[in-house]
């Protein structure tokens, strides 16, 4: 009661508030430091790669090494083809997840039945089962039916990662959509399918963008599945990056850092392209009707 | 052209009751109003006709055809939603064209579509908004677009869910007057849902009153106004709300408010001396009776005088406790019988009474409603004069008191 009214945005200058801000600052530096370290490391020469000095003569050599045949010789993995493989398999997995997941999410959001929550939970549980738990049987199956080290096999396994995400995110979007809109379309003379395509689908576009991006990132960062289920030809970017850490030979930390930074570019570019939809997606449903 | 029949329609949402055993018959071309407070099952009733909810029981027939298993898009009904349900990504004209382009309401060429949309939007006064998106409209404009999407197409029945509820009072009165004059509206069977009794009485060929998912009364506006079947209907209609006073039968009269109100027992009503009942008097039925003796030394305690047996007017005396100006009229709260009871009356005279004034009120005995006795807050059936006994038994206190506390949860 004693404290004066504060305007929105106005700060109270107390030791506690200053302390909290300091703590936040420390936390901020702490969490961003690895990223900074990665950038610096990627600019160092091989001789300096283990030094902890921040003063060095920066070079872009690492990037050109990773992208050239030299890198392929060091790791016996072609980085560029791994990049292509990642783009194709992750894009494929997201596409499959959207084609199947959007109707599934719509059904889950609209049709409540006994056990529908249990079903949704089961779908989510695919996400929190450790990948290592299923990798051995998957490896055996993949070998037997010839999916090992194929793009199709990669799409198939990454789709396990992305599908639950897509369904869960989009279900809440469909639930937020007023049912009246589709009912109005039904009474306008449209079938349920046309009402879905005409009314519901355009309105959840931001949700689709958000879910697709998130799913793509999860698939992109997936490591265990591609590591075990691919060989030399269809390895993904995560596998290729890790090859620079050795695996029998020498560990090239500076090259690893450069490769990791290149590997982080596609999701970043994707995120920037669909940013427009993302912001709308996050504010969707904040305003009634 | 088709009548709509609901037969024993039942629908609940989990444990929440939507409608229970609702039977209605709406005639071909009739303008039928469903009136009830929120949660009475009005919207559920419309959605049952439209086929948008799966029924737990009962049947719906449109134009004599059973609608069991018939998809909404095959039912040939149009509905205006309370939430407008306008497609946000489409302009007004695209919204209005939507039912014309589905191919299930007939086929229209581009120019026919344009003609129809133009005709409807001109009628509704929204023809200047065609290129706007719903988010760029006011609520009143949205509501008219929603109404337009119904009127733009031919249909067997129009289902209108509170189509005027979000308009401001002035526009609402204007639209109410216009609505009935719309050509298509007067020739197409319409189910109109509202919680506004004035709309119901003004628009309806017939009115059905719903309460907690059950049909309480159905009849012409005169019927439900003049002869409410129970105190719930009586309270639902009229503003200010009807006065209800507990009464005891004594010497051929219903005596209420410690003798301040004495109403002759309606002829033929089965009420004996000592029976308890309730009298209901609508505030606007009470008229102020001028009298010098009242203005002068008025009696402290109100005393009812039953005079003019011929005119059968009930007279009540009391003192104004509260005078509240509501526009032209003044709403009076009048103390009776020492202040333990009160009546609401409406004073529309040039020089309205002030607080503390003594007042004499009169109401024709025929306009006094009599209901069965019940606990406070309980809704009770009307006591009917022994009208033509349809089933041979004398009409009397219909059933027992009905409780409002009927808890289904």
**What pLDDT is recorded for position B408?**
39
pLDDT reading at A282 higher than 70? no
The reported pTM is 0.80
Q: Which of residues 89-128 of A touch B (CB under 8 A)?
A: none
Could you say which of B85, B88, B102 has the minimum Cβ distance to residue A183? B85
**What pLDDT is recorded for position B183?**
66
| CATH number for the domain running over B4-235 | 3.40.50.300
How does residue A3 score in pLDDT terms, banded at 50, 70 and 90?
A: low
Mean pLDDT of B163-172: 83
**What pLDDT is recorded for position B167?**
79
**Which residues, including other chains, have CB under 8 Å from residue A98's CB and lie 6 or more apart?**
A166, A208, A211, A212
pLDDT reading at B301 higher than 80? no
Cross-chain Cβ contact A180/B50 below 8 Å = no
pLDDT reading at B294 higher than 50? no
**What pLDDT is recorded for position A201?**
93
Cross-chain Cβ contact B87/A184 below 8 Å = yes
C-alpha angle B185-B190-B191 in degrees, rounded to nearest 5: 145
How does residue A241 score in pLDDT terms, banded at 50, 70 and 90?
A: very high
Cross-chain Cβ contact B72/A183 below 8 Å = yes
Give the closest residue to B3 by CA, choosing from B64, B54, B48.
B64
**Domain segments of chain A as ranges:** 15-67, 69-283
CATH of A69-283, one of 3.40.50.720, 3.30.365.10, 1.10.3720.10, 3.60.15.10: 1.10.3720.10
Give the closest residue to A210 by CA, choosing from A265, A173, A177.
A173
**What pLDDT is recorded for position B401?**
40
**What pLDDT is recorded for position A279?**
64
Chain centroid to CA B268: 28
Chain centroid to CA B303: 34
pLDDT reading at B140 higher than 90? no
d(Cα A81, Cα A64) in Å, to the nearest integer?
Answer: 15
Mean pLDDT of A78-94: 95
Number of A–B residue contacts, CB under 8 Å: 62
Q: Cα separations (Å) of A282 from A169, A207, A287, B115?
A: 11, 8, 11, 41
**Domain segments of chain B as ranges:** 4-235, 236-372
**Which residues, including other chains, have CB under 8 Å from residue A266's CB and lie 6 or more apart?**
A83, A86, A87, A220
**What pLDDT is recorded for position A107?**
93
Mean pLDDT of A42-70: 86
Which of A188, A196, A284 should one mutate to test binding to chain B, selecting the residue with the greatest count of B CBs within 10 A?
A188
**What pLDDT is recorded for position B296?**
37
Residues of A in contact with B153 (CB under 8 A): 188
Could you say which of B52, B73, B88 has the minimum Cβ distance to residue A190? B73
State which residue of chain A sits closest to B158, comparing Cα positions: A187
How does residue B340 score in pLDDT terms, banded at 50, 70 and 90?
A: confident
Radius of gyration of chain B, Cα coordinates, nearest whole angstrom = 25
Mean pLDDT of B42-64: 94
pLDDT reading at B291 higher than 70? no
User: Where would I find the H helices in A76-178?
Assistant: 79-110, 116-128, 131-145, 151-176
- The β-bridge partners of B7 are B59
Cβ contact A238:A154 at 8 Å: no
Q: Does A197 touch chain B (CB under 8 A)?
A: no
Mean pLDDT of B273-283: 90
Sign of dihedral through CA atoms B378, B384, B388, B394?
Answer: positive
pLDDT reading at A285 higher than 70? no
Domain B236-372 belongs to what topology?
Answer: OB fold (Dihydrolipoamide Acetyltransferase, E2P) (2.40.50)
β pairing state of B276-281 and B369-372: antiparallel
Which of A110, A117, A186, A187 should one mutate to test binding to chain B, selecting the residue with the greatest count of B CBs within 10 A?
A187
**What pLDDT is recorded for position B397?**
39
**What pLDDT is recorded for position A17?**
87
**Which residues, including other chains, have CB under 8 Å from residue B103's CB and lie 6 or more apart?**
A189
**What pLDDT is recorded for position A133?**
86
**What pLDDT is recorded for position B396?**
39
Mean pLDDT, all residues of chain A? 88
Mean pLDDT of B101-125: 91
**What pLDDT is recorded for position B292?**
47
**What pLDDT is recorded for position A4?**
60
Lowest mean pLDDT of A9-18, A24-33, A177-186, name the range: A9-18
pLDDT digits (tens, 9 = 90+) for B209-247: 999 999 999 999 999 999 999 999 999 998 889 999 999
**What pLDDT is recorded for position B305?**
43
The larger pLDDT score, comparing residue B315 to residue A52, is at B315
Q: Cα separations (Å) of B177 from A242, B182, B229?
A: 77, 10, 28
**What pLDDT is recorded for position A1?**
46
ipTM over 0.90: no
pLDDT reading at A10 higher than 90? no
């Amino acid at each position: 009661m004693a404290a004066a009214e504060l305007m929105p945005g106005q700060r109270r200058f107390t030791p506690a508030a200053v302390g909290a801000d300091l703590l936040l600052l420390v936390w901020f530096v702490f969490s961003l430091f690895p990223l900074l370290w990665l950038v610096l490391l990627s600019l160092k020469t091989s001789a300096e790669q283990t030094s902890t000095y921040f003063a060095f003569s920066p070079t872009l050599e690492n990037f050109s090494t990773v992208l050239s045949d030299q890198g392929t010789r060091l790791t016996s993995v072609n980085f560029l083809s791994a990049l292509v493989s990642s783009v194709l398999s992750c894009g494929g997995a997201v596409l499959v997840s959207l084609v199947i997941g959007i109707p599934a999410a719509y059904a889950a959001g609209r049709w409540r039945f006994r056990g529908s929550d249990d079903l949704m939970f089961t779908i989510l549980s695919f996400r929190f089962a450790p990948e290592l738990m299923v990798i051995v049987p998957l490896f055996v199956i993949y070998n037997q039916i010839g999916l090992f080290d194929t793009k199709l096999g990669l799409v198939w396994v990454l789709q396990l990662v992305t599908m639950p995400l897509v369904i869960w995110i989009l279900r809440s979007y469909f639930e937020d959509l007023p049912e009246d809109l589709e009912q109005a379309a039904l009474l306008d003379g449209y079938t349920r399918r046309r009402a879905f395509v005409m009314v519901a689908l355009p309105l959840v576009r931001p949700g689709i963008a958000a879910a697709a991006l998130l799913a793509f990132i999860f698939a992109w960062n997936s490591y265990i599945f591609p590591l075990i289920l691919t060989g030399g030809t269809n390895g993904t970017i995560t596998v290729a990056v890790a090859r620079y850490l050795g695996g029998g030979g020498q560990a090239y930390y500076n090259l690893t850092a450069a490769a990791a930074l290149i590997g982080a570019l596609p999701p970043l570019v994707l995120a920037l392209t669909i940013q427009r939809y993302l912001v709308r997606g996050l504010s969707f449903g904040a305003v009634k009707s | 052209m088709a009548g709509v029949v609901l037969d024993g329609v039942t629908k609940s949402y989990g444990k929440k009751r939507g409608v229970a055993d609702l039977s209605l018959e709406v005639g071909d071309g009739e303008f039928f109003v469903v009136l009830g407070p929120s949660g009475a099952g009005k919207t559920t009733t419309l959605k049952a006709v439209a086929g948008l909810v799966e029924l737990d029981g009962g049947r719906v027939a449109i134009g004599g055809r059973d609608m069991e298993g018939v998809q909404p898009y095959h039912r040939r009904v149009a509905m205006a939603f309370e939430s407008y349900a306008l497609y946000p990504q489409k302009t007004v004209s695209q919204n209005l064209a939507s039912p014309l382009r589905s191919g299930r309401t007939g086929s229209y060429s581009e120019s026919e579509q344009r003609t129809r949309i133009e005709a409807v939007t001109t009628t509704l006064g929204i023809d200047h908004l065609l290129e706007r998106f719903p988010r760029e409209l006011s609520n009143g404009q949205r509501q008219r677009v929603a109404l337009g999407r119904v009127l733009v197409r031919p249909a067997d029945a129009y289902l209108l869910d509170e189509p005027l509820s979000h308009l401001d009072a002035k526009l609402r009165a204007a639209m109410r007057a216009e609505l009935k004059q719309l050509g298509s509206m007067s020739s197409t069977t319409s189910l109109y849902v509202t919680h506004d009794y004035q709309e119901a009485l003004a628009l309806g060929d017939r009115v059905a009153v719903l309460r907690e998912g059950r049909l309480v009364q159905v009849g012409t506006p005169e019927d439900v106004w003049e002869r409410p079947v129970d105190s719930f209907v009586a309270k639902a209609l009229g503003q200010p709300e009807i006065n209800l006073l507990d009464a005891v039968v004594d010497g051929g009269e219903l005596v209420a408010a410690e003798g301040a109100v004495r109403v002759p027992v309606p002829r033929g009503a089965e009420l004996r001396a000592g029976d308890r009942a309730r009298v209901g008097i609508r505030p606007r039925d009470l008229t102020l009776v001028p009298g010098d003796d009242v203005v002068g030394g008025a009696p402290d305690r109100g005393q009812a005088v039953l005079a003019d047996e011929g005119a059968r007017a009930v007279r009540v005396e009391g003192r104004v406790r509260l005078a509240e100006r509501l526009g032209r009229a003044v709403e009076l709260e009048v103390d009776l019988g020492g202040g333990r009871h009160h009546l609401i009356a409406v004073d529309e005279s040039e020089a309205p009474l002030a607080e503390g004034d003594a007042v004499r009120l009169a109401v024709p005995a025929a306009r006094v409603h009599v209901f069965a006795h019940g606990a406070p807050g309980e809704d009770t059936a009307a006591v009917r004069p022994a009208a033509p006994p349809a089933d041979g038994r004398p009409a009397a206190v219909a059933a027992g008191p009905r409780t409002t506390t009927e808890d289904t949860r």
